[in-house]
Amino acid sequence: MSAIKALNPKAEIARAAQALQININAARGLQDVLKTNLGPKGTIKMLVSGSGDIKLTKDGNILLHEMQIQHPTASLIAKVATAQDDITGDGTTSNVLIIGELLKQADLFISEGLHPRIVTEGFELAKTKALETLEKIKVTKEMDRDALINVARTSLRTKVHTELADLLTEVVVDAVLGIRKEGEAIDLHMVEIMQMQHRSDIDTQLVKGLVMDHGARHPDMKKHVEDAYILTCNVSMEYEKSEVNAGFFYKSAEEREMLVKAEREFTDEKVKKVIELKRKVCGDSNKGFVVINQKGIDPLSLDMLAKEGIVALRRAKRRNMERLALACGGMAMNSVEDMTPDCLGSAGQVYEHVLGEEKFTFVEECKNPQSVTILIKGPNKHTLAQIKDAIHDGLRAVKNAIDDGSVVPGAGALEIAIHDALMTYKNDVKGRSRLGIEAYARALLVIPKVLAENSGLDPQETIVKLQEEYRDLGKPVGVDISTGEAIAAADSGIWDNYCVKKQIIHSSTVIASNLLLVDEIMRAGLSSLKG
């Protein structure tokens, strides 16, 4: 009888071979779900929530986040894969496939009596060699616009259809290059992503400026201003109650009027200071003046501003204040006392776009924007969500390429090269650990195999072709998903992120090794003891 049964008769337990089988089945189950998503020709999954909401996606990360996974092992693998996305922004599906395949290949040897510990030792040796091969194969080069477009295209074509992917590629690369500052880390929060349920997905565009999801609050304010000064401020322009509860006593209506007037004057003074500044910088010219305030502006203040031809927006989001200063120049002011013309930004045009009930304000034609907006358009909610997820991945792919300063050939080329290197290395290893290396090498082939399978090609035939071509050419070759022939990934501009591949090799090996070494699964937590 198991020792845990003596301590807790209600415990559920799975021993050695059974525990291993549970883990391997879970990994393979998850692998089968995500398998068909891989690559540009992968299929799309449709997720339906409890309330009937629909989500269409090919992104492994979204699937694992949204799916309800109850199996403990599958849930563990899903967490590792989503952590991969949090760290590098891509590679979730590949991670799950490789973990599933590592366990599947190890199972072939374990079922013949090989101890899991020996397999994991082989995995560790293979991981070190795989990372060495990755270092040799990576291509370090100047990350100019063309190189970044190739990286972004490779990532985006696996998420959305080709025509849209090619459009988004240009958008995300130009967005990242727009906010990039020499010698500083790239902050992707400076790329605002705004959604408009309007027209079709091909109308998605990059705005070199800012788009805000609210409009001016006064009917007399202009809807379109050209050559405008922009004042970003965080000043309350509305009547406020005092923080302490104070009471005022008055004997007559005149005294009450005086009190009200004095209270109003306090707010009016602030508004007058803004108007003074506008008169000072605009003079008699027909230049526009736009005030974007983080706090409120009450109707009377709006009226004063409208009479002066000033366009005022209130209650702007805090993150937009930071972005506005970067996009238009100038400074965000917290007080009206020290306002000078130097604190103003400028924009070529500011206009309002009304869409049904919603208003959008566009701040465009900024001189040197260091914050930009990607405006996503689509006919329905799930299209917008799908594009938004793809853009997030595209932005991360471009950022990774700039940070790494190097890229790796894609289309399964890296996996073919590592397989070849491991098969040669296996002969130098003494003892049974070499079987673990062999299992690891075979497992990596799952990526080119699945790419071929999803494209309607014969996986075995494709792998053989690739291996022969790699030995003849001596440079990394991947799968041409249109013909099934070998293709020099580097010449075709198919590049993957170096940090994504490195992370996949690290995390998939660690998790697969841990799962193989589990010889007992006990459900004996406190919750199962109740009753």
92 part of the active site: yes
Residues 6+ positions from 241 with CB-CB distance below 8 Å: none
CA dihedral (254, 260, 263, 265) in degrees, to 10, reads -70
483 part of the active site: no
- Determine the straight-line distance between the first and last CA of the chain, rounded to whole angstroms: 23
Q: Are the CB atoms for 400 and 85 separated by under 8 Å?
A: no
Q: Tell me the C-alpha distance between 370 and 311, whole Å.
A: 23
Active-site annotation holder among 57, 59, 88, 90: 59
Q: Tell me the C-alpha distance between 396 and 392, whole Å.
A: 6
- Label residues 174-199 b or e (16+ Cβ within 10 Å = b): bbbbbbbeeeeebebebbbbbbbebe
Active-site annotation holder among 88, 93, 154, 383: 93
Residues 6+ positions from 345 with CB-CB distance below 8 Å: 229, 230, 231, 232, 324, 325, 327, 328, 329, 330, 366
Dihedrals φ, ψ of 54, to 5°? -105, 140
Q: At what angle do helices 446-454 and 92-110 cross, to 10 degrees?
A: 120
Best CA proximity match to 497, nearest among 194, 153, 22: 153
Residues 6+ positions from 499 with CB-CB distance below 8 Å: 88, 400, 403, 404
Q: What is the DSSP letter of 342?
A: G
Q: What is the largest CA-CA distance in the chain?
A: 104
Query: What angle is formed at CA 69 by the lines to CA 66 and CA 72, rounded to 5 degrees?
Result: 140
Q: Tell me the C-alpha distance between 286 and 216, whole Å.
A: 19
- Label residues 290-304 b or e (16+ Cβ within 10 Å = b): bbbbbeebbeebbeb
59 part of the active site: yes
Best CA proximity match to 305, nearest among 317, 315, 316, 293: 293
Active-site annotation holder among 57, 73, 82, 92: 92
Q: Are the CB atoms for 98 and 117 separated by under 8 Å?
A: no
Best CA proximity match to 226, nearest among 344, 327, 348: 348
Adjacent-strand bridge partners of 140: 406
Active-site annotation holder among 90, 201, 393, 480: 393
Helix (H, G, I), strand (E, B) or coil at 435: helix
From the number of C-beta atoms within 10 Å of its C-beta (0-12, 13-18, 19+), residue 4 rates as middle
Best CA proximity match to 44, nearest among 374, 385, 380, 378: 385
Best CA proximity match to 438, nearest among 16, 105, 158, 213: 105
Pair of tokens at residue 49: 């929530």
Catalytic residue IDs = 59, 92-93, 393
